Every structure is written in C-alpha cells, then in structure tokens.
Amino acid sequence: MIRVVLLLALSLQCVLSDDGCYNGWAAYEGYCYGFFVEDVSWLLASANCDLFGARLAEIDSKQRETWLSQQLVVKKLPVAWIGLSSRLHPGVWQWTPSNRDVSRYVNWIPGEPNNYGNNEQCVELKSTGGWNDLNCLTARKFICEKKLDTTHIKKG
C-alpha cells in the first residue's frame, strides 16, 4: 500500500493541469491542494506530501478552512490530516514544517484539543469544519499544500 502511494505520487509529479497545479489537485488563493484518499499515519502523510515538494495543509483563515472542508465534502472524505501538530513541543501547537504557531487562526471543535490518553499530538480537519487532535499513528486521508508556481501555468 505504501509503495503504491509513493509510486502514484512520483508518477503524478510531472503532470501539470492548466491552472499550474499537479493533475488532480485544486488551486485556491495561491496554493495547490492535493486530496489523498489513502489512510495513513500523520508522519507518512507528511512524507508523501514531501514527494510533491508540498506539505500537509496549513489553515490561516476561516475562508481557507471553509474551502478545504467543502472539498472534503465533494470528495466524500469525512476527515483528513492537516499540518498542525504538537509533536516537537508537547502542548504547543505549530504548523509543520513551517513552525508557525496557530495564533493567526484556530478552529478547534468544542472540547478540543483534549489530548485524550495523553497521546494526541496531530490534527485532523473535519468535513463539517473544525479541528480535532488525534493520535498521530491513526490512519487518515490527508491534504497536501504547495505554493502555486505561476511559471508553469499554461497560457491560452
């Protein structure tokens, strides 16, 4: 399964659509987003994003979260890993790998983050909106984010 995900990632890397994103990815406000249906751990999701020169999605506004959540609904994905974690500094939530803190925008669902079992250091986005902390080894779909490279956009 992991080998299939890696091979798929490598094969898609060379194919760009008209909007400058990889084929199958979607553009939104200067970024390309890939929505992956494989269920993997947070670390493996992050590693797969790296293969595209991307990272797990970072959410900096209500508008971006709403758009991402709507995409999850369209793709029939109830939840997906995003790039927020407290793995490096327990109790301190940061976007990985940028290491930005979450002071700009947060949207935890009620009662979260709760670090249930003292073992929830990674974050999933729900298709209904909102964030939930979860054990990083839990298998989830994931969202990769890559800055839009306008030099590769096809001109009509």
Predicted pLDDT of residue 111: 97
Q: Is residue 25 domain-resident?
A: no
Q: Is residue 93 domain-resident?
A: yes
Is the Cβ–Cβ distance between 20 and 27 less than 8 Å?
Answer: yes
Q: Which domain holds residue 53?
A: 31-149
Q: Is residue 13 domain-resident?
A: no
Q: Is residue 116 domain-resident?
A: yes
Which of the given ranges, 12-16, 18-22, 88-92, 152-156, has the highest pLDDT on average?
88-92
37-56 per-position pLDDT tens digit: 999 999 999 999 999 999 99
Q: What is the pTM of this model?
A: 0.86
Tokens encoding 81? 């890993």
Domain count, the chain: 1
CATH number at residue 70: 3.10.100.10
Average pLDDT (18-33) is 92
Q: Is residue 2 domain-resident?
A: no
